[in-house]
Amino acid sequence: MTARHREVVLSGPGEVRVVEIDDTAPAPGELLIAPEAVGICGTDMDLLEGTMGYLTSGLIDYPLTPGHEWSGTVLAVGDGVDGFSPGERVVGEAPIGCGTCQVCTSGEYHLCPDRLETGFIRQSGALTERFRYPARGAHLLPPQVSFQDAALIEPLAVAYRGVHRLLAHGGGRLLVVGGGTIGLLCAMTAQALGVEDIVVVEPQPHRRAFAQDLGLASVDSASGSWPLVIEASGREPGMQAALTATGVGGRLLLIGLCGRPSIPVDIDRIVLQDQTVLGSLSSPGVWPEVIALVASGRILPGRLVTHTFGLAEIADAFAQMGSRDPGTMKVHVHPQR
């Protein structure tokens, strides 16, 4: 009898279910992985609601198995794979380039025109009991890194790359607009990299309190002039606050997605104040550094997790993530529960 496993499937806007499918062996170059912890993020919520840009542009379509923030255990290794063995603990990147084109060889594999994207483009996500994953996107976990911390390495790597680029021309006082997962991870990263004066702007009292519990200063609105600013809210008020707070000669990092084609921006102010506006997408090339940061204990991203669910409770997990519950920050699903 063929072994089977459970898997989450989004079959249309608002339609989420758990199905049983046959197990398959890893193909050459792949790992078969048992996910242990999987994060649900805002992009997964957009997939469920049908508003995610890849869906509305026609790049992808239902059905989909989401889950691009994950950690797990290797069950089997496909032909031609070196460096991994059954029983080892791993984490994996979301964009996976072809590895051979000019874009990939330049190091910008997250922009590869033939890339896979875990949970989105031609690569099933980790909201399942078993999944096949290209070994070239996987990284081994040190033994001291928990599955909960490891499942947040993907968004932490996104934050790390953005902060690292922002600090490339020197540090200084930093204002982070938005106290959600990415905003807090940006602040935690900057703190670990030696920035001493960090303030998180967050209008919601419970999120301000959460940031303060992490040892971060947090206020309800931006004030003053800042040399370094990160916009992590993905909302027009946050963008306007970030632009206003960026000082003369300041640098503004945009890391939150607004989900709309345009918002009003005072271009003349950017020019007249000699400011730099920088966008940052994904996390190419930084994963070994980020894993080392987590392994050292300098950043423990699992502190952001407030709720956990089993795979059969996936509808509840999405509902919790989409709720306005003030006690909710990061939701994880444990597929092996």
How many residues are recorded in the chain?
A: 337
Q: What is the pLDDT of residues 142-163, one digit of tens each?
A: 999 999 999 999 999 999 999 9
- Could you tell me if 183 and 200 are in contact, meaning their C-beta atoms sit under 8 angstroms apart? yes
Distance CA 18, CA 318 (A): 13
Are both 8 and 136 inside the same structural domain?
yes
**Does any domain span residue 223?**
yes
Range of the domain at 128: 4-141+300-334
For 21, other C-beta atoms within 10 Å of its C-beta total 15
If 0-12 CB within 10 Å is exposed, 13-18 middle and 19+ buried, where does residue 310 land? middle
Using pLDDT thresholds of 50, 70 and 90, give the confidence band for residue 117.
very high
- Could you tell me if 284 and 108 are in contact, meaning their C-beta atoms sit under 8 angstroms apart? yes
pLDDT at 1 over 70: no
Using pLDDT thresholds of 50, 70 and 90, give the confidence band for residue 170.
confident
Q: How many domains does the chain have?
A: 2
Q: What is the pLDDT of residues 228-237, one digit of tens each?
A: 999 999 889 9
- Could you tell me if 158 and 61 are in contact, meaning their C-beta atoms sit under 8 angstroms apart? no
Mean pLDDT of the chain: 95
- Provide the pLDDT for residue 33: 98
Are both 229 and 324 inside the same structural domain?
no
H, E, C per residue of 30-86: EEEEEEEEEEECHHHHHHHHCCCHHHHCCCCCCCECCCCEEEEEEEEECCCCCCCCC
Global pTM exceeds 0.85: yes
Look up the CATH number of the domain holding residue 101. 3.90.180.10
Using pLDDT thresholds of 50, 70 and 90, give the confidence band for residue 16.
very high
For residue 95, list its beta bridge partners: 117
Are both 59 and 178 inside the same structural domain?
no
Look up the CATH number of the domain holding residue 236. 3.40.50.720
Are both 165 and 258 inside the same structural domain?
yes
